[in-house]
Amino acid sequence: NGQIDTTFTYVPVHLEYIISEILKNSCRATVEYTQKIGRVEFPHVTVTISKGKNFIGIRVRDQGGGVPAKDLPSIFDYSYTTVPQDDIGGGSCNTKENIFAGVSKMAMQSGLGGPIAGLGYGLPLARIYAKYFGGSMDLISLHGYGCDVFLKLKQIDESLDDLQI
């Protein structure tokens, strides 16, 4: 949705990491919550893009059940996870129980990656990447429905002369 033809200058590997972490969490929550409530069809995870003069805004909206209010202060803390310990690193591969565990297990066996979820480093690191270059990342939860993640990224250009990498 939004201004899908938008282009801007940014560090590709950081952008890829940030977006993949947000989408991974949204998709995982949506799949698990949909199965939990017995819904027949999976709702869409919606991405909306908006471009300002020096910033790009990206909103990722899901219907993954949201985050309980008591857990919101911890959502960007290192090692905080909602993933059951048995599912970390591939755990159960029963599709009905954990659709992402099989993908994670195959990736680890092939040497292409680690656990797809559960270590508690994904969102905190994604937020650090966004903030490092002058942006922000915020999560708004409607517990029992879903989450909106708002990502604001500052375009990297020659006005960032004082940036040290």
pLDDT for position 96 = 47
Q: What angle do CA 47, 49, 50 make, to 5 degrees?
A: 150
114 with 57, same domain: the answer is no
pLDDT for position 56 = 96
129 with 53, same domain: the answer is yes
Domain CATH for 15: 3.30.565.10
Identify the burial level of 72 via C-beta atoms within 10 angstroms of its C-beta, where 0-12 means exposed, 13-18 middle and 19 or more buried. Answer: middle
127 with 97, same domain: the answer is no
35 with 92, same domain: the answer is no
27 with 63, same domain: the answer is yes
37 with 115, same domain: the answer is no
pLDDT for position 133 = 86
Domain range enclosing 16: 1-69+122-156
56 with 40, same domain: the answer is yes
Classify residue 76: in a domain, yes or no: no
65 with 109, same domain: the answer is no
Residues 6+ apart with CB under 8 A from 112: none
pLDDT in tens, the chain (165 residues): 999 999 888 889 999 999 999 999 999 999 999 999 999 999 999 999 999 988 999 999 999 999 999 999 989 888 777 766 555 554 444 444 455 555 555 554 544 444 555 667 889 999 999 999 899 999 999 999 999 999 999 988 755 556 566
How many domains, in total, are found in the chain? 2
